[in-house]
Chain A
Amino acid sequence: MIQCKTSKEIGGMGHSLKRKEDIRFIQGKGHYVDDVKLPGMLYMDIVRSPYAYAKIKKINIEEAMKVPGVVAVVTGKDLEKYNLHWMPTLMSDTQMVLPTDTVMYQAQEVAAVIATSKYAARDGREAVKVEYEPMKPVIDPFKSLDPGAPVLRSDKEGKKDNHIWHWEVGDKNKTDDVFAKAEVVVKEQMHIPRIHVASIETCGCVADYDKVNNHLTMYMTTQAPHAIRTVIALVAGHVGLTEEKIRVISPDIGGGFGGKVPVYPGYVIAIAVSFLVGKPVKWIEDRSENLQADSFARDYHITAEMAGTKDGKILATRFKILADHGYTDASANPSKFPTGMFSVATGSYDYDTTYMECDAVYTNKPPGGVAYRCSFRVTEAVHAIERITDRYALEIGKDPAELRLQNFIKKEDFPWKSPTGWIYDSGDYHKGLLKAMDTVNYHQLRAEQAEKRKRGELMGIGISTFTEIVGAGPSKDFDILGIKMFDSAEIRVHPTGKAIARFGTKSQGQGHETTYAQIIAEELGIPAENIQIEEGDTDTAPYGLGTYASRSTPTAGAAAAVAARKLRDKARKIAAYLLEVSEDDLEWEPGKFFVKGAPEKSKTIQEIVFASYTNHPPGMEAGFEATHYYDPPNLTFPSGAYICVVDIDKETGAIHVRRFVAIDDCGNIINPMIVQGQVHGGLTQGIAPAMYEELIYDEAGNILNGTFMDYLVPTAVESPKWETGHTVTPSPHHPIGAKGVGESPTVGAPPAIANAIVDALSPYGITHLDIPITPFKVWKALKEKGVV
């Protein structure tokens, strides 16, 4: 049980408070972007490329303009006049809004049709005729750097190949030396395939430009509304859209998972059209457009190596990555981190030598890479280290749990400096894994497995003991387009003791409206019920960097606590004034100050707040509000120990996940119910890439599964019953000791599942399978080994 300092009525930290936001969602009264309806609103639909790589010879809009209801067709040539046909990406690359001459991936935006209704816009889209001259695309990233490969980005001056950048970290010579001398070296080639967040709500917007007031209101599905406002101002300032004239509203968002961080061409076209026609323009993409054109996730080809001793001491790791970024580098990373936080791939283990390198290449695919609960490439990092750790255990014939317990960073060694320079804040990895092993009854399972193996039955047990890195981040290293990655909270308490608080983050279902109120309730003793939380409106909320990479609790959660503490300091002064004692004579308990030794002499927070408006001390500013912009001193490093048990049908390759135990440690817990919900959802988004999901392209660059008919999002039937639990190792640098957790399960689960399946197949010499591990892939592997 979690100990709470506040009463249930106050509902501070640790209470499984039911969510405030539910009451509207369960009655259909949420307010999502496609629910927005404005007078005179027009609808936009987008003509998309059928080819992965082609010259545009001609766009014929005549027939489209004849369609009843169609008011305009916009092409790249139209945007070129305003220099809006290209836009910058977060990685300082450039991305087409609409092409003027060449399309770079299938489903790329080619033209936009504006009409008075959704149906007319679609009719208009069908009537636009585009003549293409198809070219041979570059699809395989391994062939992208071939001397004969076409140079995809000939628009970039002097660009002579498809190489985007090279990145490296660690000590190459020392690592090579350790590998050369090590008793044991293991190596696997892994592909972490291209997948898609597929939030149930797709992306969309309503751009509403008001010519009279020269003011843009932009309702949009964005996880980072303030940053988007700044980006719009930077891109469109030359046409008069300066930042004070732009209001971005991110209303209720139907799931984000990283897919709603980037700026998509659809948004920009909608703004441009609204600006030109002076009417609101709505753009809502279809599911197929969402899967085929919006930011993908992963697509890392990793050569993972581990060196160690025969008895199981890890000595070094080496990772070489080929990253497929599509036609532009639009991955949503902090600017100094082209591979995100991949460098946390040394994992939960205590060794001091590593070398990692990555080359990124262009291909004729949509851009993206960082999305889908990846915490900036930590999914890839954890998959690599957890798979190669199991490979090492298999090589030396050691139990993978024992191997991990042997190599874990010990709890007394935190803060611990990793070989790539991260300072892990805290952890108790032994405790987590032992709890998971105990919950799943690990040793009995291994005994059962041994029995089953004698009978030729396939049962596997997979472990993943991961360290996350979330809460970007300290201003020294972390920025998005130069804007430091702080976040913010602004709390204003009304005369009657109820409060409104606004944040620079943006929930997409993570429950911020409830949990931020709990943090403030914890600090001030005002019941969480009485604290209204708002995010997403850039006119009203303090500037923040948004919600992604599990950064809300580490950054804005911290800001909430610090802002509340500023208010508590003020409350103490007012209480001392009202009680006519010195501040030092006062003690605080959630909800009131009382005089030491005389608890009957007290002032409640509500009385104090009322006094701040009615009877504030001389010399003190009236009112009761505070703001804080929190620049985190470090990231937070939540961890987890996951164990998965699978049974596999030898004849069909069908995989049954019998059990999945997930023990997470995210430090102090604000709301256990919500943390558990995040874990359930994240685990299902872990089994999805591990067993079901992959965006598949053929050699011509056609996407083969760009709809929900064959992009296999798990249903309730595929999703196992998750067994969840926790340990608590607070973050020492965080004001309330809390760490992020939203992405941990998606980071941690896939290697646990892959390890379980490979463990089941290992008696037949199978040492690795790439995810998604489908029944066909299992059957094929067994067939190749002559087992079936």
Chain B
Amino acid sequence: MLKQITVTVNGVQHTLEVEPRLLLVHMIREVLNLTGTHIGCDTSSCGACTILLDGKSIKSCTVLAVQANGKSITTIEGVAQNGELSPLQEGFKENHGLHCGFCTPGMILRATELLANNPNPTEEEIRWGIAGNLCRCTGYNNIVKAIQYAGAKMRGDELPSTEPEFV
């Protein structure tokens, strides 16, 4: 019944025996103990479980672990390099793009692919781009700012102000 799979997670190769029905999100959380990836729903709606599978953002609650066989996964724990925050991580912190932090890992990974495909998105493109990720705390405005900030940083543009626009 168990299937053997080999997956590379945040650069480390793992060979695992898994049930075919095991959801990828549970493999990541329960088997590999990478608990930054979260579960917020049971209908593929919220995006808190978003990771990168071979560079593409996917909702890991909607993929079986066996389907990841031979593939490469990035979770939030693999985003910072050598202790250095990624531009998106920095952007979320600098722009107050998170409160409770539960949607944050999924948001950051979704935005990673968004910026990879579209390095200079408009606000509307960002909003549609993260429409698969629900946040209950921030009202999204500062998440948009965080992604704009990261985009500017990655492009080498002048960084936008992180002061709150609180007239």
B75 within 8 A of A: yes
Q: Which residues of B contact A200 (CB under 8 A)?
A: 38, 40, 46, 48, 100, 102-103, 134-136
B105 within 8 A of A: yes
Category for how many chain B residues contact A: 35 or more
Task: Establish whether residues A509 and B22, one from each chain, have CB atoms under 8 Å apart when the complex forms.
Answer: no
Write the nearest CB–CB distance from A8 to chain B, whole angstroms.
Answer: 13
Q: Which residues of B contact A677 (CB under 8 A)?
A: 96, 99, 137-139, 142, 164
Give the residues from 59 to 115 in chain B that come closer than 8 angstroms, CB to CB, to chain A.
Answer: 75-77, 79-80, 85, 89, 92-94, 96, 98-105, 108
| Least CB separation from B146: chain A residue | A26
Task: Establish whether residues A34 and B35, one from each chain, have CB atoms under 8 Å apart when the complex forms.
Answer: yes
Q: Which residues of A contact B126 (CB under 8 A)?
A: 716
A21 within 8 A of B: yes
Task: Establish whether residues B96 and A19, one from each chain, have CB atoms under 8 Å apart when the complex forms.
Answer: yes
Task: Establish whether residues B139 and A722, one from each chain, have CB atoms under 8 Å apart when the complex forms.
Answer: yes
Task: Establish whether residues A716 and B144, one from each chain, have CB atoms under 8 Å apart when the complex forms.
Answer: yes
**Selected contact of B141 from candidates A23, A119, A721, CB within 8 Å:** A721
Q: Which residues of B contact A32 (CB under 8 A)?
A: 35, 38, 102
Task: Establish whether residues B142 and A708, one from each chain, have CB atoms under 8 Å apart when the complex forms.
Answer: no
Q: Which residues of A contact B131 (CB under 8 A)?
A: 715-717
**Selected contact of B139 from candidates A118, A709, A719, CB within 8 Å:** A719
| Least CB separation from A715: chain B residue | B131
Give the residues from 137 to 167 in chain B that come closer than 8 angstroms, CB to CB, to chain A.
Answer: 137-144, 163-167
B54 within 8 A of A: no
Given contacts A18-B96, A676-B166, A708-B41, contact A28 B140 (CB under 8 A): no
Write the nearest CB–CB distance from A119 to chain B, whole angstroms.
Answer: 7
Q: Which residues of A contact B163 (CB under 8 A)?
A: 16
Q: Which residues of A contact B119 (CB under 8 A)?
A: none
Write the nearest CB–CB distance from A517 to chain B, whole angstroms.
Answer: 16
Write the nearest CB–CB distance from B39 to chain A, whole angstroms.
Answer: 7
Write the nearest CB–CB distance from A222 to chain B, whole angstroms.
Answer: 14
A769 within 8 A of B: no
Given contacts A22-B93, A119-B22, A713-B134, contact A28 B36 (CB under 8 A): yes
Cα separation A778 to B78 with both chains bound (whole Å): 48
Task: Establish whether residues A288 and B42, one from each chain, have CB atoms under 8 Å apart when the complex forms.
Answer: yes
Write the nearest CB–CB distance from B60 to chain A, whole angstroms.
Answer: 13
Write the nearest CB–CB distance from A734 to chain B, whole angstroms.
Answer: 21
B37 within 8 A of A: yes
Per-residue CB contact flags for chain A residues 276-304 toward chain B (1 = under 8 Å, else 0) read: 00000000101110000000000000000
Cα separation A719 to B42 with both chains bound (whole Å): 23
| Least CB separation from A201: chain B residue | B102
Task: Establish whether residues B38 and A26, one from each chain, have CB atoms under 8 Å apart when the complex forms.
Answer: no
Given contacts A21-B101, A27-B77, contact A673 B89 (CB under 8 A): no
Cα separation A119 to B101 with both chains bound (whole Å): 27
Given contacts A22-B92, A709-B45, A725-B167, contact A28 B100 (CB under 8 A): no
Task: Establish whether residues A26 and B108, one from each chain, have CB atoms under 8 Å apart when the complex forms.
Answer: yes
Cα separation A707 to B79 with both chains bound (whole Å): 31
**Selected contact of A26 from candidates B41, B75, B98, B100, CB within 8 Å:** B98
Cα separation A349 to B139 with both chains bound (whole Å): 30
Task: Establish whether residues A254 and B100, one from each chain, have CB atoms under 8 Å apart when the complex forms.
Answer: yes
A325 within 8 A of B: no
Q: Which residues of A contact B48 (CB under 8 A)?
A: 200
Given contacts A25-B101, A25-B104, A287-B46, contact A684 B41 (CB under 8 A): no
**Selected contact of B165 from candidates A21, A509, A724, CB within 8 Å:** A724
Per-residue CB contact flags for chain A residues 224-245 toward chain B (1 = under 8 Å, else 0) read: 0000000000000000000000
Give the residues from 286 to 329 in chain A that come closer than 8 angstroms, CB to CB, to chain B.
Answer: 286-288
The listed residue with most B CB atoms (<10 A of its CB), out of A197, A682, A716, is A716
B19 within 8 A of A: yes
Task: Establish whether residues B134 and A29, one from each chain, have CB atoms under 8 Å apart when the complex forms.
Answer: no
Write the nearest CB–CB distance from A528 to chain B, whole angstroms.
Answer: 15
| Least CB separation from A35: chain B residue | B35
Given contacts A23-B93, A26-B92, A254-B38, contact A509 B140 (CB under 8 A): no
Write the nearest CB–CB distance from A610 to chain B, whole angstroms.
Answer: 32
Q: Which residues of B contact A719 (CB under 8 A)?
A: 127, 139-141
B16 within 8 A of A: no
Given contacts A119-B21, A673-B164, contact A26 B104 (CB under 8 A): yes
B117 within 8 A of A: no
| Least CB separation from A675: chain B residue | B166
A257 within 8 A of B: yes
Write the nearest CB–CB distance from B118 to chain A, whole angstroms.
Answer: 15
Task: Establish whether residues B141 and A722, one from each chain, have CB atoms under 8 Å apart when the complex forms.
Answer: yes
**Selected contact of B136 from candidates A35, A37, A257, CB within 8 Å:** A257
Q: Which residues of B contact A676 (CB under 8 A)?
A: 96, 164-166
Cα separation A326 to B100 with both chains bound (whole Å): 29
Task: Establish whether residues A287 and B43, one from each chain, have CB atoms under 8 Å apart when the complex forms.
Answer: yes
Cα separation A715 to B136 with both chains bound (whole Å): 9
Cα separation A199 to B40 with both chains bound (whole Å): 8
Task: Establish whether residues A681 and B99, one from each chain, have CB atoms under 8 Å apart when the complex forms.
Answer: yes
Per-residue CB contact flags for chain A residues 9-51 toward chain B (1 = under 8 Å, else 0) read: 0000000101101111111111010110100000000000000
Q: Which residues of B contact A672 (CB under 8 A)?
A: 164, 166
Q: Which residues of B contact A199 (CB under 8 A)?
A: 100, 102, 136
Task: Establish whether residues A28 and B99, one from each chain, have CB atoms under 8 Å apart when the complex forms.
Answer: no
Given contacts A200-B103, A509-B137, A716-B126, contact A724 B43 (CB under 8 A): no
| Least CB separation from A710: chain B residue | B43
Given contacts A707-B42, A708-B45, contact A28 B134 (CB under 8 A): no
**Selected contact of B85 from candidates A26, A118, A286, A510, CB within 8 Å:** A26
A439 within 8 A of B: yes
Cα separation A495 to B138 with both chains bound (whole Å): 38
**Selected contact of B37 from candidates A28, A684, A707, A725, CB within 8 Å:** A28
A511 within 8 A of B: yes
Q: Which residues of A contact B29 (CB under 8 A)?
A: 34-35
Cα separation A286 to B44 with both chains bound (whole Å): 12
Task: Establish whether residues B35 and A27, one from each chain, have CB atoms under 8 Å apart when the complex forms.
Answer: no
B130 within 8 A of A: yes
Write the nearest CB–CB distance from A615 to chain B, whole angstroms.
Answer: 40
The listed residue with most A CB atoms (<10 A of its CB), out of B35, B80, B139, is B139
Cα separation A26 to B90 with both chains bound (whole Å): 8
Q: Which residues of B contact A26 (CB under 8 A)?
A: 76, 85, 89, 92-93, 98, 101, 104-105, 108
Task: Establish whether residues B136 and A198, one from each chain, have CB atoms under 8 Å apart when the complex forms.
Answer: yes
Write the nearest CB–CB distance from A111 to chain B, whole angstroms.
Answer: 20
Cα separation A23 to B100 with both chains bound (whole Å): 12
Cα separation A676 to B136 with both chains bound (whole Å): 15
A508 within 8 A of B: yes
Given contacts A28-B35, A681-B136, A716-B143, contact A118 B26 (CB under 8 A): yes
**Selected contact of B39 from candidates A16, A34, A675, CB within 8 Å:** A34
| Least CB separation from B35: chain A residue | A35
Cα separation A675 to B166 with both chains bound (whole Å): 9
A360 within 8 A of B: no
Task: Establish whether residues A681 and B139, one from each chain, have CB atoms under 8 Å apart when the complex forms.
Answer: yes
Task: Establish whether residues A255 and B137, one from each chain, have CB atoms under 8 Å apart when the complex forms.
Answer: yes
Write the nearest CB–CB distance from B68 to chain A, whole angstroms.
Answer: 18
Cα separation A683 to B137 with both chains bound (whole Å): 10
Q: Which residues of B contact A288 (CB under 8 A)?
A: 42-43
Per-residue CB contact flags for chain A residues 730-769 toward chain B (1 = under 8 Å, else 0) read: 0000000000000000000000000000000000000000
20 more contacts with CB within 8 A, not counting A26-B108, A28-B76, A119-B21, are A22-B92, A22-B101, A24-B101, A26-B98, A26-B104, A27-B77, A29-B77, A119-B19, A200-B40, A200-B48, A201-B102, A256-B100, A673-B96, A677-B96, A681-B136, A708-B134, A716-B130, A719-B139, A724-B165, A724-B167
Which B residues fall within an 8 A CB radius of A? Answer: 19, 21-22, 26, 29-30, 33-43, 45-46, 48, 75-77, 79-80, 85, 89, 92-94, 96, 98-105, 108, 123, 126-128, 130-144, 163-167
Rank and list the top 8 A-B pairs by shortest CB-CB distance, nearest first.
Answer: A28-B36, A25-B101, A509-B100, A254-B102, A680-B139, A509-B99, A725-B167, A708-B45
Residue pairs across A and B with Cβ atoms less than 8 A apart, 9 shown, are A26-B98, A27-B85, A37-B33, A199-B100, A201-B38, A672-B166, A708-B45, A715-B132, A716-B131
